[in-house]
A and B are shown apart, each in its own frame.
Chain A
Amino acid sequence: MQWWCAAVGVPWSWTWQPYPGVWLFMLVLAAAYLHIRRRAQARGARIPPARTASFAAGWLLLWIALDWPVGALGAGYLASLHMAQFILIGVAAPPLLILGLPRRTPAAPAGRASRVLTHPIVALGVFTAIVTGTHLPAVTDALMPAQLGSFVIDTLWLLAGILFWWPLLIETGRTWFTEPVRIAYLFANMVFMTAPGAMITFSDLPIYATYELAPPIPGFSSIEDQRLAGVGMRFGGSTIVFVAISILFLRWNRAEEKLMASEQASAGRPDESAQRDG
């Protein structure tokens, strides 16, 4: 029984394959969210429908990435789909899942360790290390053929993504983590992702044995597939991060405008009183 998508080395078939391990994982995730919601509501919190919709969207993206056919193709046939899985699991789904959490979610829900891990510098470092490490050919080729190995990679991506987005989306009380610093944090991520993306895109020969030696998909060579994977990593991830940078920039800009307006209003009041006295 195939519980999780892995590289099994058989020719691809469009016949649907069940992966009960994936369904179990998604059910546990949904159950955990419902439990968190119920506890928050019991404390009097109101959870707007938008938050629930955000979690549902993230949950759906995760399910698409992990289950057949994307999960199976990405695990054992196409490096480009493996990259699409990474973008969905590690970059796109985590912010949606986090935005679905109740407003007053603790900054460090699992004690001191989680406070350290969600420190922006640590989170960025852990994200970069996990993404770089899991995209090394030796690691990918060692882990992808086994269900447990593939599960480990997927889970590491999700964890890395949650850690990376956590300080941006959950109020952690770090006053120094202002909008400009957050923008720099996101920009640093784009820069650090250049190396693994370049390694994949600009190699003359396939670097992953898993995908080079997989039963081929007609009309699509392994090097074309790999280059598409590199481009996907570079532009797919960057697009999402760029959207986040844009939102932060607009928020920062609005906050600055409000501050300027209130300063101008305060500066204007002494003149008004002078006029009244005069």
Chain B
Amino acid sequence: MRMRTRRARIHAGTLLAAALLFACSRGETEVRSAWRGTLLSEPVEKPDFTLADTDGKPFRFREATAGQLTLLFFGYTNCPDICPLHMASLATVRRGLPFAMKNRIRVVFVTTDPARDTPQVMRVWLDQFDPDFVGLRGDSAYVARLQNSLGMASAILGPRGADGRYSVGHAAQVLAFTPDGRAHLQYPFGTRQEDWAHDLPKLLEATW
């Protein structure tokens, strides 16, 4: 009788522990699966930097995007895939949002190839996606330090081909700075339009 009672207690305890573990991991999974982007282990403060926009005017990033959902991406216009795909996805999804939401979202593109990406080149390239997208350009070393401060690897210029063309290896993720001035999520290459459509409205209203 005592053995049976003891065995029953052990079984009950095991079940309870398993249930608690399941509940905890489900909770964690629920937080993770609530977002399609990748949660950062530590939020990143919105950096305070100034670069020239495509009109040649200084763009004070923190000041100009205060209170907005700001999607920051480092790339270059001769990029064959990652950059145009990110920009196209963001443009398509942003266009489909209600007017009030759309106006609270800012997409900021910083070039990692200032030699080829003149302000005019950047403006023409960005306009094919969305004329509201901001393009910024600055000194390569400054942009590299900025990327490092955000936990990103700085861009690396590839070797020049016989035709003078070269690729630029760069971080492929978009950092999403929510209206509280911090980035809590990043979106790697491979983020689909349905993922942006899911997360953008939530990012606008999320409290952290």
Residue numbers of A with Cβ under 8 A of B are 9, 11, 204-206, 209, 212-216, 218, 221-223
- Is B84's CB under 8 angstroms from A212's CB? no
Tell me whether A205 and B197 are in contact in the complex, defined as CB-CB below 8 angstroms, given that A213-B192, A221-B92, A222-B88 are known contacts.
yes
Cβ-based interface call for B101 (8 A):
no
Given A212-B85, A221-B88, output 7 extra A-B contacts at Cβ < 8 Å: A205-B93, A205-B193, A209-B192, A213-B85, A214-B81, A216-B85, A223-B92
- Is B84's CB under 8 angstroms from A216's CB? yes
Cβ-based interface call for B164 (8 A):
no
Chain B residue with the shortest CB-CB distance to A11? B80
Q: How far is the CA of A213 from the CA of B83 in the complex (A)?
A: 11
Cβ-based interface call for B43 (8 A):
no
Tell me whether A216 and B193 are in contact in the complex, defined as CB-CB below 8 angstroms, given that A204-B96, A221-B88, A221-B92 are known contacts.
no
Q: How far is the CA of A205 from the CA of B97 in the complex (A)?
A: 13
Chain B contributes a number of interface residues (CB within 8 A of A) equal to 15
Residues of A within 8 A of B190 (CB): 209, 213
Q: How far is the CA of A250 from the CA of B80 in the complex (A)?
A: 53
Cβ-based interface call for B194 (8 A):
yes
**Min distance, Cβ B187 to any Cβ of chain A, angstroms:** 13
Residues of B within 8 A of A9 (CB): 81
Which 9 A-B pairs give the minimum distances between C-beta atoms? A11-B80, A215-B81, A205-B193, A205-B194, A216-B84, A215-B80, A212-B192, A206-B193, A209-B192
Cβ-defined partner of B81 (8 Å) among A11, A206, A223 = A11
**Min distance, Cβ A145 to any Cβ of chain B, angstroms:** 13
**Min distance, Cβ B121 to any Cβ of chain A, angstroms:** 15
Chain A residue with the shortest CB-CB distance to B194? A205
**Interface bits B79-110 vs A (CB < 8 Å: 1, else 0):** 01100110011001100100000000000000
Residues of A within 8 A of B193 (CB): 205-206, 212, 222-223
Residues of A within 8 A of B89 (CB): 212
Tell me whether A216 and B192 are in contact in the complex, defined as CB-CB below 8 angstroms, given that A11-B80, A11-B81, A205-B197 are known contacts.
no
Q: How far is the CA of A209 from the CA of B88 in the complex (A)?
A: 14
Q: How far is the CA of A222 from the CA of B81 in the complex (A)?
A: 13
Q: How far is the CA of A149 from the CA of B131 in the complex (A)?
A: 40
Residues of A within 8 A of B80 (CB): 11, 215
**Min distance, Cβ B127 to any Cβ of chain A, angstroms:** 13
Q: How far is the CA of A78 from the CA of B197 in the complex (A)?
A: 22
**Min distance, Cβ A100 to any Cβ of chain B, angstroms:** 42
Tell me whether A206 and B192 are in contact in the complex, defined as CB-CB below 8 angstroms, given that A215-B80, A216-B81 are known contacts.
yes
Residues of B within 8 A of A206 (CB): 192-194
Q: How far is the CA of A221 from the CA of B192 in the complex (A)?
A: 13
Q: How far is the CA of A235 from the CA of B193 in the complex (A)?
A: 27
Q: How far is the CA of A158 from the CA of B93 in the complex (A)?
A: 37
Q: How far is the CA of A242 from the CA of B89 in the complex (A)?
A: 38
Which residues of chain B in 180-196 are interfacial with respect to chain A, using CB atoms and an 8 Å cutoff? 189-190, 192-194
Residues of A within 8 A of B88 (CB): 216, 221-222
Q: How far is the CA of A274 from the CA of B36 in the complex (A)?
A: 91
Q: How far is the CA of A216 from the CA of B197 in the complex (A)?
A: 20
Q: How far is the CA of A214 from the CA of B84 in the complex (A)?
A: 11
Which residues of chain B in 114-166 are interfacial with respect to chain A, using CB atoms and an 8 Å cutoff? none
Q: How far is the CA of A222 from the CA of B189 in the complex (A)?
A: 16
Chain B residue with the shortest CB-CB distance to A207? B194
**Min distance, Cβ A77 to any Cβ of chain B, angstroms:** 11
**Min distance, Cβ B130 to any Cβ of chain A, angstroms:** 12
Residues of A within 8 A of B96 (CB): 204
Q: How far is the CA of A215 from the CA of B83 in the complex (A)?
A: 10
Q: How far is the CA of A213 from the CA of B81 in the complex (A)?
A: 8
Q: How far is the CA of A205 from the CA of B197 in the complex (A)?
A: 9
Residues of A within 8 A of B85 (CB): 212-213, 215-216
Greatest chain A CB density within 10 A among B93, B189, B192, B197 is at B192
9 CB < 8 A contacts A-B: A205-B92, A205-B193, A205-B197, A212-B85, A212-B89, A215-B85, A218-B84, A221-B92, A222-B193
Residues of B within 8 A of A205 (CB): 92-93, 192-194, 197
Residues of A within 8 A of B84 (CB): 216, 218
Q: How far is the CA of A206 from the CA of B194 in the complex (A)?
A: 8
Q: How far is the CA of A165 from the CA of B82 in the complex (A)?
A: 43
Q: How far is the CA of A9 from the CA of B189 in the complex (A)?
A: 12
